[in-house]
Amino acid sequence: MIEGVFYMETSDGVLDDAFMECSVKQDVDLKTEGTSATGNCVIVLSPKDNAFGSFECRGSETACRGRFTLNGGTGEFKGLQGGSEFFIRSPMRQLAEGITDGDDVVVPNGMALFRNLEYNMDGED
């Protein structure tokens, strides 16, 4: 799981200050030091207003770059569409060494950066 506060650089949109939680499946190849990950996310503004997104990325043992896609929501986010390129950084390798397939890993620190996130509601520009 990835979770934390979701901030936007400007405060002009409804996604400016919300909570984000993503379920993530990440594969780490300790020999090549490569990684790939997929995830499904919910961005919570209120109990009735939730945005949904998903991502895929590839990268090194400490960073993963890819595409984040917004694909719907509830309440204020009904019909939400959009996305951006994004970057995740975490100390996954240090935690992944020595675990077996299927073990859960908890990463206490990290960050995700969504570059030029664009979105619209129900086809609006």
- Pull the structure tokens for residue 79: 């019909």
Strand boundaries in the chain, DSSP class E:
2-7, 17-29, 34-44, 50-60, 63-74, 80-89, 111-121
Instruction: Tell me if the pTM is above 0.85.
Output: no
Residue 116, beta-bridge partner list: none
One digit per residue, the tens of pLDDT, for the chain of length 125 reads: 788 888 776 656 655 678 889 888 888 787 887 888 899 999 998 899 999 999 999 998 778 999 999 999 999 899 999 999 999 887 665 555 556 666 666 666 778 888 888 888 875 54
- Pull the structure tokens for residue 37: 């990950």
